[in-house]
Amino acid sequence: MKRQPALPRSQGGYILALNIAVLAMMLVGATYIGERMTLALKLAQAEQRRVADELALEDARARVLFLLSTVPRTRDGLGSGEHAVRLDGRYYRAGEGALVSLQDARGLFGINVFGLIGSGRDRIERFLATYGLAPPDIARLTDTLLDYRDGDNLRRISGAEAEDYLAAGKGDTPRNANLLAPNELGRVLGWGEQEALWQEDPVSEEVHTYPRGSFNPNTAGWRALAAQGSLTPEIAQSLVRSRRSGEIPDISRLAFSGAIGDPFGAAALVSPFPGETVIVTLRPAGANWGYRLAVEHTPIGAKSPWRIQYAYRVALAPLDDKEAAALAGLPLAGALRDFAVKEQLQLPF
C-alpha cells in the first residue's frame, strides 16, 4: 500500500485558519440573532405595557368623567365630608395601574384673566417672582407675554413682536390673542429658554387659560396664592400645608381681607367653591408621563354634560414610592351621591 504524501505545512495552516474564520462568523451570526430576538422580546413587552397603560388610563378617564357629570360640587370638592374628592391636584388611585389628579381651574393662576396693564401686570410679575427670577427677567417675560396676547404690533420696552420671533429663528409668531392651552407658554419668546420655569414645578402646571377671573384659595397651590393674594411665599406655603393637613380647611379668609363673595368688596372674585372647569391629569402608576385634559362642566348643555377644551400628553415628575403607596382610592360615584334621590341641588359655579 502506498503512503499518502503529507500535506504541506502551509496548506494545513490555511485550513485551520479557515475553520476558525467560519466558527467566528457563526458566533457573530448567533450573537446577532440572539440580540435581535432579545430586542424583539423587549419591544413586545413594551408594547404590552403600553396597551395595558392605555386601557387603564381610558378606564380612569371614564370614571372621572362620570364623577364630574353626576356628583354635586361643594366646598370640599366632589361630594362632601371625608370621602369627598379634593380638587386641589392631589393624586388618587383609579383602578388597576392608573393614577388621577383633579385640579379646580379656579385654584390656578389665570394667565389670560388679567388685563394688559395695571394690576394684571403686577400679578403676573408676582407669579414669576415665585420662581426666583431676577427683576429684569421678570419684566422681560411679562412684556413678551403681554405682546403675545395683545392684538397690535406695537412692541413693549422688553417685549417681542413678529419680527423678533423671526429673528430668533422661531417658526411661530405671536398669536395676538389669548393662549389656548398652558403648554403654549413655551412658544412665547424667552419663556421656553428659562429653565427655572420648566424644572421641578413647571409653569404649565400652575396656570389655566380661561378668561374667567374667579379664584378659589381652597384649591390653590402656593404660587397662585402668593400671586393673587399678595402673600409672601413662606406664608402661602404655610397656608397650603395647613389646608392639606386638614388643620385649616378654609383658608380663604386668611389669604384675603374683606368679605368673601361681596360683589363690591376687595375680594369680589374670590370664591370658596370649585368652578365649572377641572384640569384632569391621568398617568400610569410608576410612569413619568401622562395625559392632561381640561374638562368644562356644562350641566345645561344640549349635547353633553361636559366639554373637553384641550388634551395633550405631558412629561411628569416621578412620584416617591412611599407617597404613591399611601394614595387613597378614587371613590365610586355611589359613595358620593345617593342615586335613589332624583332631585339633588347642584351648586352654581
Residues of the chain whose pLDDT is less than 70?
1-13, 115-119, 258-268, 300-301, 342-349
Residue 242 contacts residue 251 (beta carbons within 8 Å): yes
Domain boundaries, the chain: 59-107+273-336, 109-205, 217-272
Cβ 67 vs Cβ 333: under 8 Å: yes
User: 107: Cβ–Cβ under 8 A, 6 or more apart, which residues?
Assistant: 87, 88, 89, 215, 216, 217, 218, 219, 220, 221, 224
> What pLDDT shows up at residue 289?
92
At 190 the pLDDT is 93
DSSP characters over 171-195 = S----SS--SSGGGGGGSTTTTT-G
What is the per-residue pLDDT for 230? Answer: 76
pLDDT of residue 131: 95
- What topology does CATH give the domain 109-205? Ribonucleotide Reductase Protein R1; domain 1 (1.10.40)
Q: Which of 223, 337, 229, 220 is nearest to 272 (CA)?
A: 220
The model's pLDDT over 127-146, given as tens digits with 9 standing for 90+, comes to: 999 999 999 999 999 999 99
User: What cell numbers appear for 216 in the block?
Assistant: 378659589
Does this model's pTM top 0.75? My answer is yes
**Cβ burial, residue 314 (10 Å; 0-12/13-18/19+):** middle
**Residues in the chain, total:** 349
Which residues is 104 bridged to in the sheet?
Answer: 278
Asked whether 139 and 125 are in contact (CB, 8 A), the reply is yes
